[in-house]
Amino acid sequence: MLMDADALLFQSPALLWETKKYQTTGTLFFNDRIAEANFSEGLGYRPANRPNIMAIEDYMSKADVNLFCYIPTLSRPSAPSALLAADKSTVMLHFRPSADLLKSHLLNGRSGHRVDSSILLWNKKRQPRATAILASFVSLNDVPRPPSYGDKELFFVACELAETQYAFSDFATGSAGWDFRNYGANKSIVCGSAAHHFPELSDGIFTQEARLLYMNSHYIMKYKPKELPMYYSPA
């Protein structure tokens, strides 16, 4: 388990080891907020000289992972043919993309980020090929580091290139803070610290009852609700 020092926990993170997602794949990632599609250090960036290709497409089209194909991986199902046919990307990939990637806000140009790496679970024994590719990113050998704001996207990209199974939280990212921007129904936003729910929902539990697991910042400790109202958005 990798955890940022400023993660503010409301439940024990040890519960994450028992989730079906981790037990099945040896991984567990939390979604990042849908924002900054053209952020210059993000995967969705489109430089002026190639406005039709995002950074993630350019990177993955050049990533040669043949060297790692002899390392075991947790094989994932092929993406449905209808999903592959609907893919609007114009680049050629040297690996089989997952259905998760093809459906993501990231690859469809709606966000520049995919993972909030403030807490994540990674089992090296369960993910030998992805771990080797991840090591290549860090050592700068064979497969270069993907475009990423810090380390946030490295783990997910390693899994994607390894053609392995991996797991994301069932929930989008919430937010808590004092900066509420009222743009009308279904358009208003709360700018503040990222809030993450427990990543799996039990049968029969409504989404509104999902339990808050942690916030990716201890900045909430500085809020003064008697002076400024505090707002919370579940997603």
- Does residue 113 sit in the same domain as residue 153? yes
Does residue 7 lie within any of the structural domains? no
Tokens standing for 234?
């579940």
- Does residue 27 sit in the same domain as residue 65? yes
Host domain of residue 150: 14-161
203 pLDDT above the threshold of 80: no
- Does residue 141 sit in the same domain as residue 72? yes
- Does residue 137 sit in the same domain as residue 181? no
Does residue 169 lie within any of the structural domains? no
Nearest CA-CA partner of 168 in 159, 179, 177, 176: 159
Query: What does the pLDDT look like over 20-36, one tens digit per residue?
Result: 999 999 999 999 988 77
Res 47: pLDDT: 74
Does residue 188 lie within any of the structural domains? yes
How far apart CA 23 and CA 228 sit, in angstroms, is 43
How far apart CA 102 and CA 96 sit, in angstroms, is 11
- Does residue 120 sit in the same domain as residue 210? no
- Which amino acid, 107? L
207 pLDDT above the threshold of 80: no
Say how many Å lie between the first and final Cα of the chain, rounded.
24
How far apart CA 27 and CA 220 sit, in angstroms, is 28
Res 161: pLDDT: 97
> To which residue do tokens 């580091």 refer?
145
Does residue 217 lie within any of the structural domains? yes
Q: Partners of 212 in the beta sheet?
A: 197
Nearest CA-CA partner of 152 in 128, 122, 118, 127: 118
- Does residue 115 sit in the same domain as residue 223? no
- Does residue 179 sit in the same domain as residue 117? no
Q: Of 134, 161, 188, which residue is a domain's last?
A: 161
Does residue 5 lie within any of the structural domains? no
Does residue 64 lie within any of the structural domains? yes
How far apart CA 203 and CA 114 sit, in angstroms, is 26
206 pLDDT above the threshold of 70: no
- Does residue 146 sit in the same domain as residue 192? no
* Total domains, the chain: 2
Nearest CA-CA partner of 124 in 159, 99, 96, 153: 159
How far apart CA 101 and CA 95 sit, in angstroms, is 12
Does residue 8 lie within any of the structural domains? no
| pLDDT class of 191 with cuts at 50, 70, 90 | confident
- Does residue 146 sit in the same domain as residue 187? no
Does residue 108 lie within any of the structural domains? yes
Q: Of 100, 134, 161, which residue is a domain's last?
A: 161
- Does residue 43 sit in the same domain as residue 147? yes
- Does residue 53 sit in the same domain as residue 143? yes
Over residues 70-97, mean pLDDT: 89
Over residues 172-184, mean pLDDT: 88
138 pLDDT above the threshold of 70: yes
Q: Of 131, 161, 191, which residue is a domain's last?
A: 161
> To which residue do tokens 């004092």 refer?
178
- Does residue 145 sit in the same domain as residue 186? no
Helix H, strand E, coil C: the string for 171-188 is CCCEEEEEEEECCCCCCC
Nearest CA-CA partner of 127 in 163, 81, 93: 163
Please give the distance of CA 146 from its chain centroid, rounded to a whole number.
Answer: 14
Tokens standing for 154?
């490295």
